[in-house]
Structure 1
């Protein structure tokens, strides 16, 4: 299940408000893509946190869900990753 756990807003080029989201999934998105494509290494397993979730950064909205990052074990890690690639401050809600 997909759940937005943090919404951020930053100014693209200083003038255009642009959204960024941290999304919680109850599966390892990239593991599932590898499994569907037959690209997993022998013994490779999903890298979920102890609660069975991962957090991803998404710079766009829409369906189907497609993340713009690797999976992170905590929302704080995902927020830090988002802020590291955005060229300006993010206002989180």
Structure 2
């Protein structure tokens, strides 16, 4: 399950709006990818928070407009707050959260 839990806008070059989203998943995206590619160590397991979720940052275009499937631009974070801080540190300017 993919749920957008925060949306903001960063202005590229001060004029071009770039949408930044924090998406909550009920699975560990990177672990699932490794599992699908049969690229996990035997002891590796999903790293979910106590609620069985992770939060990911997405700032590239193409999702959720249906053009491409969801692909995060970050590692998974245990809390929304951690993901927001990571999003803000990844962008070279301020994000206006809605």
TM norm structure 1: 0.96
Partner of 1:77: 82
Cα deviation, 1:6-31, whole Å, max 9, x if unaligned, reads 00101101111110000000000000
User: In 1, Cα distance between the equivalents of 2:17 and 2:92?
Assistant: 13
Query: Aligned with 1:57: secondary structure?
Result: strand
State the number of aligned residues: 93
Task: Give the deviation of 1:85 after TM superposition.
Answer: 1.2
Partner of 1:65: 70
Q: Runs ≥4 in structure 1, deviation > 6 angstroms?
A: none
Q: Distance in 1 between the 2:10 and 2:70 partners?
A: 21
The TM-score with structure 2 as length reference comes to 0.91
- In structure 2, the residue matched to 1:6 is 6
Instruction: State the alpha-carbon separation in 2 of the partners of residues 54 and 88 from structure 1.
Output: 25
Unmatched runs of 5 consecutive residues or more in structure 1: none
What RMSD over aligned residues (CA atoms) do the two structures have, in Å? 0.8
| 1:34 corresponding residue in structure 2 | 34
Post-superposition offset of 1:43: 1.1
1:89 to 90, 94, 98: 94
